[in-house]
Amino acid sequence: MDIVNYGMIEHPTQGIRIIIGNIEGTNNIYMKRESLQIDEQTRRVKSAIGYGGGAPLGQMVWTEECSKIFTNIFRLAKFYYKSSDGETAWDEAYIRFIKYLLSSNSLNYDQFLPFITGMKIFETTLAKGTKVFVNKYDYHPYRIMETTSSHYVMKNDSDESKTVEVMKNELEKIALEKWQLEYRKGYPEYF
């Protein structure tokens, strides 16, 4: 599988990157998230004598966390490409494209969350109907019912009499937290 129109989006401090591109000759996009991990084959432990502990050492390697092929979607992504962005033209195009998808359809949030978790660059307005855990102590997600200029109005997915208003910038930040993905795996019956 040859990837063309390649983009790479990296988190500047967390050792996370997304590799994304068009599968040559198709309208499909391949997307992969990788993180820096210590290679187990080169791992060794410093002597506790003189170092105050056993800090692991080893060669850092990019390790795949998840990957997926998104079908029949590249033509839309191409719309966001601007040659004026220079060397980062495809990187920027894919960022704009994913933000558009997140703000246009609630189903897109669930599909892209495993890839964009922890990456502030993807903070954007979320689509009506998107389910998000509002805090770490919720056992049920809240569904976005309405968006105002400064807030999201949300209802509890299991008890619609429970309504909350959350500041837009706060929820957009919370929506990309790693625990969102963990809770989704822990409570699959809501998704």
pLDDT tens, 130-147? 999 998 888 889 999 999
Distance CA 174, CA 133 (A): 8
Is residue 95 within 8 Å of residue 119, measured between CB atoms? no
For position 57, what pLDDT does the model report? Answer: 65
Question: Of 40, 39, 1, 41, nearest to 21 (Cα)?
Answer: 1
For tokens 């997140």, what's the residue? Answer: 102
What b/e string do you get for 151-182 counting C-beta neighbours within 10 Å, with b at 16 or more?
Answer: ebebbbbeeeeeeeebebeebbebbbeeebbe
pLDDT of the chain, 191 residues: tens digit per residue? 899 999 999 988 889 999 999 999 999 999 999 999 887 776 654 444 445 555 556 678 899 999 999 999 999 999 999 999 999 999 999 999 999 999 999 999 999 999 999 999 999 999 999 999 998 888 889 999 999 999 999 999 888 888 999 999 999 999 999 999 999 888 888 87
For position 46, what pLDDT does the model report? Answer: 45
For position 157, what pLDDT does the model report? Answer: 82
Burial of 19 (0-12, 13-18, 19+ CB in 10 A): buried
Distance CA 142, CA 157 (A): 5
161: its two tokens: 């009499």
For tokens 């994913």, what's the residue? Answer: 98
Question: Of 189, 3, 2, 8, nearest to 115 (Cα)?
Answer: 8
Is residue 118 within 8 Å of residue 151, measured between CB atoms? no
Q: Using CA atoms in the order 74, 80, 84, 86, what is the torsion angle rounded to 10 degrees?
A: -50
For position 53, what pLDDT does the model report? Answer: 53
DSSP for 6-26, written as a single string = EEEEE-TTT-EEEEEEEETTS
For position 49, what pLDDT does the model report? Answer: 44
